[in-house]
Amino acid sequence: MSKQNILNIKTFNKDKRKPINKLYNSYSKLDKNWSKEVVTVFKDNNIELPILCFSTKHKGNSLYLISGIHGEEPAGPNAISNNIKFLNKLARKIHIVLLPLCNPIGYKKNQRYPDLKNSIGDSEHFLLDLKNKKPRRTKPVSENSLKFTSYLIKKSKSYKPILVLDLHEDEKINANYIYSQGELGKKDPVAIEISKFLNKKNLGSAKKIKTRFNEIIENNIISNVNDGSIDELLSSKRIINKKIKKGPNAKSVIVFETMTKNIPLKKRVKIHSEIIRNLGKYLSMIKS
């Protein structure tokens, strides 16, 4: 859509999140080391907003940074927007795939899903049901989720995911925690390092409690979860698309969740920014 139309879009602002036009404008400051692709376009009445993917021009073993899957979780998209200069510097050293705003319609409305019921990251149409060797879902939940998941499967062939970091928030629980969905599970050194960070900062760590989905958090970490998410897809060794195929098989897949209750967005953005600024260190922990 045109720059003029983006400028005219109203964004939910009770939590003082950045207007959506400022997010898109910040991406234009990613430098010549990046290439840009439109993954898919969300349509809401007369509004069209793209999901953009930025990739370093050199391919190979890569870090994936994903944000904004759920529209009522603004800390990740705002933190990425605040750290463009840092990401430009990091892109000179490592291969990166950046998806900074994966649900722009939800972001502007403060709405979890783009159409109230389906996540853009729902991947069950490509995830294998181990009992019958078929997809868990016969059809994708939406055209956009099909485009999004198909794009990342294709991307993973030239930009092999080594570490995936997906930034999220949770309004239902008084704790910050991590999903570790790669093969290393609770022993993932990145998950352990971020858990230590939460403890050190006294950021509402979770010793042993349950999430809204009845998942047990132990020492800030949840592992071995089959939740049908894009994170599970990127960690999968095998997927199914008409036939069983090799999956993206990322070694480390970390979903970082900050609690939102009684914590202003500005503070949550700072927490996410600290995670972003340690991405190089996290990747080296998985490579070594």
User: How many domains is the chain built from?
Assistant: 1
Q: What is the pLDDT of residue 6?
A: 64
What's the CATH number where 21 sits? 3.40.630.10
Q: What is the pLDDT of residues 64-104, one digit of tens each?
A: 999 999 999 999 999 999 999 999 999 999 999 999 999 99
What pLDDT is stored for residue 44 in this prediction?
83
Write the single-letter amino acid at 80: I
CB hemisphere CA count around 187 (13 angstroms) = 3
As a whole number of angstroms, the distance between CA 278 and CA 283 comes to 9
Query: What pLDDT sits at residue 288?
Result: 52
Tell me how far the alpha carbon of residue 63 is from its chain's centroid: 12
pLDDT number for residue 153: 98
> Which residues of the chain carry a pLDDT beneath 70?
1-7, 116, 203-208, 288
Range of the domain at 166: 3-287
| Residue 1, pLDDT score | 52
Give all strands of the β-sheet with 47-56 in edge-to-edge order.
Answer: 34-44, 47-56, 95-99, 62-67, 161-170, 252-259, 177-180, 221-223, 216-218, 208-210
The two tokens of residue 237 are 């060794």
